[in-house]
Amino acid sequence: MRGDVVSFGLNEVALSLPTAQLAGVAAPRARQGWPAHAGPRSFSSSPAEAPIIPTTRVSDTRHFFTVDVEEYFQVNAFEPVVSRDDWSRMPRRLDRTMPTLLDMLSRHGMHGTFFTLGWIAEHSPHIVRQIVDAGHEIASHGYWHKRVVTLTPAQFRDDLRMSKTALEQVSGRSVIGYRAPSFSIVPGYEWAYDVLAEEGFLYDSSAFPIRRPGYGSPSAPRVPHVLERGGRRLAEFPLATTSMFGMAIPAAGGGYLRQFPFSWIRRAFAQAGARGTPATFYIHPWELDPDQPRMPVSWLTNLRHYRGLERTTVLIERLLSEFSFGTIASALDGVLGTSAPEAPLAHTR
Ligand SMILES: [Zn+2]
């Protein structure tokens, strides 16, 4: 049986993926219209490499700029040293970092999708309002930043509902997208897709098609695609990768932006652009904050969390100079055949 994912309604891509991994993944509807500058209308997910052109604006493809909005003390690696009970007593730093991010996007005339914790909406609602007022998309990163692999389906649903309610009440906008903390919808936890669809979400962006301890869905398609789950459809926007030596290399941003050669990141977006398939970038606000309080953690966590923080802003500037970025919601029409809701909710802000 052919794997049968796939994507934007154009050239079907013959992916040799395990049937189990692709169970429930269906071919999409015909493309119903990418944004005008979405680039060429065909792509392939084969590892064949496209030429890399490391100059400004290598293609017209509009990639996805995404931000996981959380405080520096809320990362999963710090769970052993910062209890959730202590979150509200910790000094917060988003007021220092969010203006930098929002200003960069504004200067480049671009918008992004901000996967925000419900906790942030409740405790720092002005941050959510700043994001929305600047024209960006608000999506969910859960409420308590709990990895899906630590939750039962019922617990996941509760956390998801709490986050959606908090974010919608503050933003006045429908929340239709989700990213799991630490990309934790991994093989064996596909039930999370069912819960997402049942709770009214239209897309997920948690799949990281790499092999890595802790997370990764190495068999997941590396391009946006549609998941068919029990009669419901959910679009999936995987994190950017590139291929080297026959291996999928993570190149989506975050720690990889800070610790890998920038040429690897550029290569991933240039290849995706050459194929005409958007790639997904991500960053955390705390990654723009070299002065954040240091936590007493292992040398490995120390390395992953703190190395290269002083480079982040410059590297994002370079990326925004060389590629075009937009929100995920703006591309849903082309993947799912369903437009994102235009009208805000009736909530008052
Ligand atoms: Zn997170």
Q: How does pLDDT run across 129-180, given as a tens digit for each residue?
A: 999 999 999 999 999 999 999 999 999 999 999 999 999 999 999 999 999 9
125 and 170 in contact (C-beta within 8 Å)?
A: yes
User: How far, in Å, from the CA of 75 to the mean position of ligand 1?
Assistant: 6
User: How far, in Å, from the CA of 322 to the mean position of ligand 1?
Assistant: 26
For residue 244, report the phi and psi dihedrals to the nearest 5 degrees.
Answer: -140, 130
User: How far, in Å, from the CA of 43 to the mean position of ligand 1?
Assistant: 30
174-195 per-residue burial string, b: 16 or more CB within 10 A, e: under 16: bbbbbbbbbbbbbeebbebbbb
- The answer to whether the Cα torsion of 22, 25, 27, 31 is positive or negative is negative
- Model confidence over 42-91: pLDDT tens digits? 333 333 333 333 344 556 799 999 999 999 999 998 898 999 999 999 99
Distance from C-alpha of 291 to C-alpha of 322, rounded to nearest angstrom: 28
Distance from C-alpha of 211 to C-alpha of 30, rounded to nearest angstrom: 31
Full-model pTM: 0.81
State which residues form the domain around 152: 54-85+92-336
Q: State the CATH number of the domain containing residue 214.
A: 3.20.20.370
151 and 145 in contact (C-beta within 8 Å)?
A: no
Residues in the chain with pLDDT values less than 50? 1-56, 342-349
pLDDT at position 327, please? 97
Indicate whether 106 belongs to any domain. yes
Length of the chain: 349
Indicate whether 105 belongs to any domain. yes
User: How far, in Å, from the CA of 332 to the mean position of ligand 1?
Assistant: 23
Indicate whether 72 belongs to any domain. yes
Indicate whether 345 belongs to any domain. no
User: How far, in Å, from the CA of 56 to the mean position of ligand 1?
Assistant: 30
Indicate whether 193 belongs to any domain. yes
User: How far, in Å, from the CA of 118 to the mean position of ligand 1?
Assistant: 12
For the chain, the domain total comes to 1
Indicate whether 174 belongs to any domain. yes
Indicate whether 127 belongs to any domain. yes
Indicate whether 35 belongs to any domain. no
